[in-house]
Structure 1
Amino acid sequence: MGLWQAKDVLATGYRWVVGDGKKIIATKDPWLSRKRDFKVENHWRYEGRSETVSSLFYPGTNIWDVDKVYELFNVDDANTILATFVLQHLVEDRIVWAMSNDEIYNVKTGYHFWHNRNIGDSICTRSGGWNKLWNNLPVRNHLRHRGIPVTILCPLCNVDVEHLLHVFFDCTFAKECWHAAGVSLDMSQVFFALDWLLNKIETSSYVESIKLATILWGIWFWRNKKVWEDRIVPANTAMELAFNTIHKWRKARKQEEPASTNRSNADSLSNRKWRPPPQGMLKVNVDASVFPRSETFSVGNVVRDHNGMFIAAKVMSLPRPATILEAESIGVREALSWIMQRGDEQGIIESDSLLTIRALQGKKKYLLEVGHVVDSCKSIIQSIPGFVLSYVRKQANKVAHDLVRYPCSVNCSHVFTSPPSQLLETIMNNCSNE
């Protein structure tokens, strides 16, 4: 797909964020974050209507008029509208790129958005994405069907028509590659090779799947070398080079990890274990868990002192969908509000969400709905300067991680003055690792 064709798909990745609601046409514009296309359903009831989102508020407020919403929209759309967050301070409606946390379009998020809309979230599903992926490979048989005047014969053997099964399995070069890689294939009883290959990958171990993918990549790589550079090597050499390339890539990835780890305190090895705060201070560990199917999320906070002793904990469940950044930011905000209520003056708030800590410590302005949560956190932090934010690895945040999975009714909260049973082992382990 070219850029001109892709623009129509990419345009659907933008949506409105509700401010005063005066610019958004409720029945036409993309503004509902919980909808796949951000719009109300294509319903006959909405034809010819052009009311703005602001007309759905009580007069002079940014609060939904519930009766009016249910009167004007079907039940599903009405529920979605009423679950849509609206800023309560006066700001204008704004258009944002909804596929990234910073609301700004870039090639990477644009590609992922196009990929998910056209191929699917995972190619290894039977929803058609697997076949779409293979059918997009420009083998000569496909090119001919699209009206491109190219020779139809395989460039590697010049014997048979170049189609997918021939390139990867039937061609002499392909057979020699599989043999050179030490993989024996019996295709005599295989009628649908793509389904067979998908099943093979799904049922193989991780190492075997990597091997299969490397062989396929090597065959296609040298097929392209032949087409574009008229270069070819023996099959055993092709496989040796393919596996060497994968080995070097994996080795480079391993070498990058300690280098990136040393670049910031956020990734330091010391953050793998929970550490007590300095004497006289408290430490609050924060975590959040999002449950997409039930469209809820939970946040949990655990307070301990400089001896590692449990002081208090709080868990709450909220009835709306949220991104990870939203849920984690709300978790930090709840921790900050709780600290103010308790009257604590000094301490450390730890989260294992680096994205959230960077958002709260940075100067960037977030235009999506999460922006109001980030701003409120920053405001509270300024009012209690004795507390600081810190990032830790998940291993050091296990107490909060376990707490946030404590059974809790939606829209309710639990406060613990003694540790619940499922936290005891982790708390004891933390104390023994000091």
Structure 2
Amino acid sequence: MGGNGKPGREILKTSLHLVDECHAVNEVRRVNLRQARPMITWKPPARDQYKVNVNGAVFKHRKKAGIGVVIRDKNGVVIAALSKSVNAPLDAVEVEAKAMEAGVLFAQDVGIREAVFEGDSLIIFKALQGEGEAPSSTHNVLAVTLEQASGFRSSYFSHVKRQGNVPAHLLAQYAKEVENYVVWLEECPSFLKHTCAQDLSVVSHS
């Protein structure tokens, strides 16, 4: 083009430098994005309450559903866990309502009387708080849940996103292979140990 050419080595060196600059800028952007997004994780209950996390799962091809419940104390220690199979073709909201009911009943059976009941269904949470409407198919289940929860010395409902409800989610998925239900008392199921340990690690550093 009438200009002065550059040696091949110089062109290669310049190109590699530009690639390094591009990688460095992208890495800074990734770090900034990670810092901008607050980590969503399990939080321990206040005072001497227990936190009861619940979750539901739908197995469409098997025409059944699964429920997971995990009860932890203020130190994050697993007090009890439940994985329950529901042989009915429930939809996502219906199984979340059943999961909350199961959480309340399971906590009663374990002997807990002060609890926070937490799930990741915003529809069910708002309905239990009287701030929203759930499908009519869940009304009876929610009514039973509220009635049973009123029998605790103290209880309230809480909402958390899926990332903060992983152990309950894993228990609900585990129910796919459960014929009826499985209960763990004063022990953490082996497939939850890593996730629960991560929760404790985050809590201890917060």
- TM-score, normalised by the number of residues in structure 1: 0.36
Identical aligned residues as a percent:
28
1:293 maps to what in 2?
61
Q: Which of residues 373, 380, 386 in structure 1 aligns to 2:148?
A: 380
Shift of 1:378: 1.7
CA gap of 1:367–1:303, structure 2 versus 1, over 3 A, is closer
- State the alpha-carbon separation in 2 of the partners of residues 402 and 367 from structure 1: 25
Residue number among 178, 185, 201 corresponding to 1:432 in the alignment: 201
Q: CA deviation at 1:299?
A: 0.4
Checking the alignment, whether the CA contact within 8 Å between 1:314 and 1:416 is kept in structure 2 is yes
Shift of 1:274: 0.9
* Structure 2 counterpart of 1:340: 108
Q: Distance in 1 between matches of 2:153 and 2:60?
A: 35
Cα distance change, pair 269–294 in 1 and its aligned pair in 2 (3 A):
same
Q: Where do residues 119-134 of structure 1 align in structure 2 (5 Å cutoff)? A: none
The aligned residue for residue 401 of structure 1 is: 169
Q: Deviations over 1:254-299 (max 9, x none)?
A: xxxx9xxxxxxxxx957x1111112311111100100111110000
Change (3 A) 1:350 1:269: farther
Amino acid across the alignment from 1:394: R
Deviations 1:328-368 (A, max 9, x none): 01001011111222221112111011111111111667673
Look up the SS of the partner of 1:383 in the other structure.
Answer: coil
Q: Which runs of 5+ in 2 are unaligned?
A: 1-35
Divergent runs of 4+, >3 A:
363-367
Please give the alpha-carbon distance, in whole angstroms, between the structure 2 residues aligned to 1:280 and 1:368. Answer: 35
CA contact (8 A) 2:123 2:132 kept: no
Unaligned runs of 5+ in 1: 1-257, 259-267
Match status 1:315 vs 2:86: no
Q: How does 1:23-422 map onto structure 2 within 5 Å?
A: 269=38, 272-362=40-130, 368-407=136-175, 408-410=177-179, 412-417=180-185, 418-422=187-191
Compute the RMSD of aligned alpha carbons: 2.1
Question: Which residue of the partner structure matches residue 192 of structure 2?
Answer: 423
How many residue pairs end up in the alignment? 166
Work out the CA distance in 1 between the residues paired with 2:135 and 2:191. Answer: 39
Q: Identify if the C-alpha distance between structure 1 residues 338 and 323 changes in structure 2 by more than 3 Å, giving closer, same or farther.
A: same
SS in 2 for 1:275: coil
Query: 1:375: how far off?
Result: 1.4
CA contact (8 A) 2:56 2:67 kept: yes
> Whole-Å Cα distance in 2 between the matches of residues 307 and 386 of structure 1?
19
Amino acid at match of 1:432: S
Partner of 1:207: none
Q: Cα–Cα, structure 1 residues 274 and 374, in superposed 2: closer, same or farther, change >3 Å?
A: same
Which is higher, the Rg of structure 1 or of structure 2?
1
Q: Whole-Å Cα distance in 1 between the matches of residues 96 and 131 of structure 2?
A: 18
Given that 2:118 and 2:158 are in contact with CA atoms closer than 8 Å, whether structure 1 keeps it comes out as yes
Contact 1:365/1:371 (<8 A) preserved: no
In 2, the alpha carbon distance for the partners of 1:383 and 1:360 equals 15
What's the counterpart of residue 6 of structure 1?
A: none
Matches of 2:115 and 2:142, distance apart in 1: 20
